[in-house]
């Protein structure tokens, strides 16, 4: 017998809620209701109700591996449904309320979901999705009652039964999320219990998020995309208090919520914190309990980071991730002495990185050069939903599509997206560098640089600009800001003004639409 003689223990996600309910039963889970009030629950209650959700789904014929879709904001009710679905071995397919009914229906068809669970204020959208997806047999509303069947009433019909709670292999699928699809059709990533469990343990490392039971964490990243960065698993795993903001992520709502609930750690994309700062600077106010803001999902402007640190006295932790990475890839450790808005931080054990050339061959030198970033680890996708081909190369690496650089000490900087690169006269132009210069101009709201077909050079850069509401800036002034800081042949040939930059459902600029509109002469 060559095996060790230690206990069997499947790495299943229900164990985080089991731990919280047993060891931190009264740690609160707060949900903002939208009218300024909040609803309070705790982990013991949340687990009891999650097990009832499991029992209800089992009674409706849902079994292991079956897909159940959710369409909801961040709330206690959504968490109960998450754990209810995953805890019985079904797959939680999170739909994005910012997509059209047609887009969501296409994803639901791909996943084969037969049950859809939605927030009350998304009932109309949910009905349209259900109508477009004949496979969907049942539709429940998770918060409140109305014309459609409510989950609360249905839960009263069932007992808190086991329904196979946690009784399955750790490699069973647990969740499904589609990529944002800014560079191609959205692709489904099918997470497993094991990948989610190991991702969570990585988050809990002191050099990663390092959540403790003494923290109160505001989860201002959506549970409907990329697992809300794993926080609905990490927080119960240590018994941290949770504050779930519901639908409204504006500065006023979040500032009030954080102040009232004594939030110590707040998690969200940069624009969310811009809203909070603007609100506080206009209306006044303090957030004395707030110690740390974790940002990711988009490049962090250096000026915003400085303002947050100075005005709120917080540590800003930058990070990099992808839907395909569960999602966290790298993060600036809290113990890191140097803080740089442009840095994606470091990787923790369980994530490995490789820089390659455009064909996937490892660069001979891995430090202080730019390369195409590949990644490996137990929480990294191996194959997209419904695809025959592996998503990995022959050595098991996943090509992120990002361009990146590693410094001598192993700190990662994301320098652009490979698909956004513009090939002009056989040489590459990186639009991210041009965008960073333009973004620093005070009049600019958002910019994008895309390639436009050019009969002589193949492609030439085109600058798309949205200015702030009451601001003006000449084209020449923007180009002058770039001149001398990049090679002269990198300078955009033309500038297009837009009233509103097209955004994908995840809030990222939709370059696919820009290229369709302006990419050809």
User: What is the nearest approach in angstroms of a second copy to the Cβ of residue 42?
Assistant: 14
The DSSP-derived string for 405-473 is EE-TT--EEEEEEGGG-EEETTEEE-HHHHHHHHHTSTTEEEEEEEEEEETTTEEEEEEEEEE-TT---
- Active-site position among 428, 433, 466, 508: 428
Q: Please provide the size of the chain in residues.
A: 521
Residues 6+ apart with CB under 8 A from 174: 13, 86, 91, 92, 191, 192, 193, 195, 196
For the bound state, the minimum distance from the C-beta of residue 202 to a second copy, rounded and expressed in Å, comes to 8
Q: At its nearest, how many Å lie between a second copy and the CB of residue 408?
A: 10
| Residue 381 near a second copy by CB under 8 A | yes
**Residue 393 to residue 377: CA distance in whole angstroms:** 14
**Using the rule CB under 8 A, is 194 a contact of a second copy?**
yes
Pattern 315-344, a second copy, x by CB under 8 A: -----------x------xxx-x-------
Size of site (CB under 8 A) for a second copy: 68
Catalytic (active site) residue 229: no
Q: Is position 191 an interface residue for a second copy (rule: CB under 8 A)?
A: yes
Distance CA 335, CA 38 (A): 34
Query: Token digits for 364?
Result: 């001979």
Residue with tokens 């500065």: 251
Cα–Cα distance for residue pair 160/211, rounded to 1 Å: 30
Q: Which of 361, 423, 427, 474 is catalytic?
A: 423
Q: Catalytic residue at 423?
A: yes
Residues 8, 284: Cα–Cα separation, whole Å: 54
Residue 516 contacts a second copy per CB under 8 A: no
Q: How far is the CB of 353 from a second copy (least distance, A)?
A: 9
| Least Cβ distance, residue 388 to a second copy (angstroms) | 12
Q: Is 365 in the site for a second copy (CB under 8 A)?
A: no
395 contacts a second copy (rule: CB under 8 A): no
Catalytic hit among 215, 324, 336, 435: 324
Nearer Cβ to a second copy (23/489): 23
- Within 168-187, the residues that bind a second copy by CB under 8 A are 169, 171-174
Among 346, 374, 460, 515, which residue interacts with a second copy (rule: CB under 8 A)?
346
Binding-site string for a second copy from residue 400 to residue 429, where x marks contact by CB under 8 A and - marks none:
----------x-------------------
Closest by alpha carbon to 327, among 19, 80, 94? 94
Closer residue to a second copy, CB minimum distance, 235 or 436: 235
Torsions phi, psi of 54, nearest 5?
A: -55, -45
The nearest distance, CB 239 to a second copy, in angstroms, is 8
Inter-CA distances, 57 with 161, 263, 308, 514, Å: 11, 34, 44, 43
Of residues 13 and 300, the one with the C-beta less far from a second copy: 13
Under rule CB under 8 A, which residues in 5-34 are in contact with a second copy? 5-9, 11, 15-16, 19, 22-24
**Cβ partners under 8 Å of residue 214, min gap 6:** 240, 264
Cα 501 to chain centroid, rounded: 21
| Least separation in angstroms between CB 412 and a second copy | 10
Q: Is 179 a catalytic residue?
A: yes
Known catalytic residue: 324? yes
C-alpha to C-alpha distances, 482 to 50, 284, 438, 441, 518, nearest whole angstrom = 54, 36, 7, 11, 21
Which of 143, 142, 165 shows the shortest CA–CA distance to 48? 165
Report yes or no: 300 and 269 within 8 Å, Cβ to Cβ. Answer: no
Of 84, 97, 210, 371, the residue at the interface with a second copy (CB under 8 A) is 210
Rounded Cα gap, residues 338 and 469, in angstroms: 35
User: Around Cβ 201, how many Cβ atoms within 10 Å?
Assistant: 17
Decide whether 62 or 449 has the Cβ nearer to a second copy: 62
Per CB under 8 A, residues contacting a second copy are: 2-9, 11, 15-16, 19, 22-24, 64-65, 169, 171-174, 189-195, 198, 201-202, 204-207, 210-214, 237-238, 326, 333-335, 337, 346-350, 352, 376-385, 392, 396, 398, 410
Q: Which residues are marked as active site?
A: 179, 324, 423, 428
């Amino acid at each position: 017998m060559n095996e060790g003689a230690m206990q069997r223990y499947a790495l299943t996600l229900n164990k985080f809620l089991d731990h919280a309910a047993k060891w931190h039963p009264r740690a609160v889970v707060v949900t903002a209701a939208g009218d300024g009030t909040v609803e309070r629950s705790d982990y013991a209650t949340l687990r009891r109700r999650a097990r009832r959700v499991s029992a209800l789904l089992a009674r409706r014929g849902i079994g292991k591996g079956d897909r159940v879709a959710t369409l909801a904001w961040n709330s206690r009710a959504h968490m109960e449904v998450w754990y209810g679905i995953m805890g019985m071995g079904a797959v939680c397919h999170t739909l994005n309320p910012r997509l059209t009914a047609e887009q969501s229906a296409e994803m639901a068809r791909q996943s084969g979901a037969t049950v859809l669970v939605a927030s009350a204020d998304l009932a109309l959208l949910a009905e349209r999705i259900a109508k477009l997806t004949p496979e969907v047999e049942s539709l429940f509303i998770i918060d409140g009652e109305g014309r459609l069947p409510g989950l609360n009433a249905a839960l009263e019909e069932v007992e808190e039964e086991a329904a196979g709670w946690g009784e399955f292999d750790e490699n069973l699928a647990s969740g499904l999320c589609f990529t944002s699809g800014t560079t191609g059709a959205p692709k489904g990533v099918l997470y497993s219990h094991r990948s989610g469990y190991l991702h969570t343990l990585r988050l809990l490392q002191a050099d990663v998020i390092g959540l403790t039971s003494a923290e109160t964490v505001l989860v201002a990243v959506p549970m409907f995309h990329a697992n809300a960065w794993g926080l609905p698993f990490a927080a119960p795993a240590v018994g941290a208090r949770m504050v779930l903001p519901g639908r409204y992520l504006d500065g006023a709502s979040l500032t009030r919520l954080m102040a009232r609930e004594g939030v110590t750690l707040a998690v969200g994309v940069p624009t969310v914190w811009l809203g909070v700062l603007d609100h506080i600077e206009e209306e006044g106010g303090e957030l004395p309990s707030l110690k740390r803001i974790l940002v990711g999902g988009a490049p962090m402007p250096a000026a915003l980071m400085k303002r947050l640190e100075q005005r709120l006295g917080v540590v800003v932790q930058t990070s990099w991730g992808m839907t395909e990475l569960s999602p966290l890839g790298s993060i600036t450790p809290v113990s890191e002495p140097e803080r740089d808005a442009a840095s994606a931080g470091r990787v923790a054990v369980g994530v490995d990185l490789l820089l390659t050339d455009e064909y996937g061959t490892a660069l001979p030198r891995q430090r202080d050069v730019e390369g195409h970033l590949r990644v490996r680890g137990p929480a990294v996708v191996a194959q997209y939903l419904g695809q025959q081909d592996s998503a990995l190369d022959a050595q098991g690496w996943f090509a992120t599509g990002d361009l990146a650089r590693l410094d001598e000490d192993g700190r990662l900087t994301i320098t652009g997206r490979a698909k956004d690169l513009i090939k002009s006269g056989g040489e590459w132009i990186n639009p991210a560098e041009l965008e960073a210069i333009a973004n620093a101009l005070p009049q600019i709201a958002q910019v994008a640089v895309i390639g436009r077909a050019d009969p002589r050079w193949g492609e030439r850069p085109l600058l798309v600009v949205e200015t702030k509401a009451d601001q003006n800036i000449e084209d020449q002034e923007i180009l002058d800001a770039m001149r001398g800081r990049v090679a002269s042949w990198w300078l955009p040939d033309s500038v297009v003004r837009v009233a509103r930059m097209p955004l994908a459902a995840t809030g990222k600029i939709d370059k696919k639409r820009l290229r369709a509109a302006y990419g050809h002469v």
